[in-house]
């Protein structure tokens, strides 16, 4: 059996970081991924895919990613069910990330070298 997904897209908002009752970090964000073809109007449709990332990588994403940043996500598709406040069953599809690669640098005042110096080697993957 194989359940593997690789996506490249841009964050639609800043990651949301929280901690489980046991203190495990988990971050959620949505990724906008263009489809590989154009529609009848000549534009590319976009899929918005929910991403879940755990532990140290969740903290790194929350601390170093923001809306509009380009990332590559490698992980697996997870379909889960839950009961909402009205007692109705809901299904959610999301990608549980094993690896998140930062593919661009933030467009703020920090220099690329300065930001890289503040992170440990295992904290992020850079595309070079």
* Residue linked to tokens 């140290």: 56
**Please, what is the average pLDDT of the chain?**
86
Give the pLDDT mean for 59-84.
95
Structure tokens that stand for 51 in this block: 């991403």
Q: Which domains does the chain have, with CATH numbers?
A: 5-35+44-117 (2.40.50.140)
pLDDT in tens, 95-128: 999 999 999 987 764 444 334 433 444 454 444 3
Residue in 54, 51, 42, 39 with CA at minimum distance from that of residue 10: 51
Structure tokens that stand for 123 in this block: 């904290």
The pLDDT value given to residue 124: 45
Give the list of residues 6+ apart from residue 42 with CB closer than 8 angstroms, or none: none
Does residue 90 have a pLDDT over 60? Answer: yes
């Amino acid at each position: 059996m194989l359940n593997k997904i690789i996506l490249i897209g841009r964050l639609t908002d800043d990651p949301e970081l929280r901690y489980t009752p046991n203190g495990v970090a988990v971050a959620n964000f949505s990724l906008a991924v263009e489809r590989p073809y154009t529609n009848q109007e000549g534009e590319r449709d976009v899929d918005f895919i929910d991403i879940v990332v755990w532990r140290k990588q969740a903290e790194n994403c929350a601390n170093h990613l923001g809306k509009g940043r380009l990332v590559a996500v490698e992980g697996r598709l997870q379909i889960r069910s839950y009961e909402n406040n009205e007692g109705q069953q809901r299904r959610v599809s999301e990608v549980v990330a094993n690896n998140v690669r930062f593919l661009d640098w933030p467009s703020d005042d920090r220099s690329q070298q300065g930001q890289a110096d503040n992170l440990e080697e295992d904290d992020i993957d850079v595309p070079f």
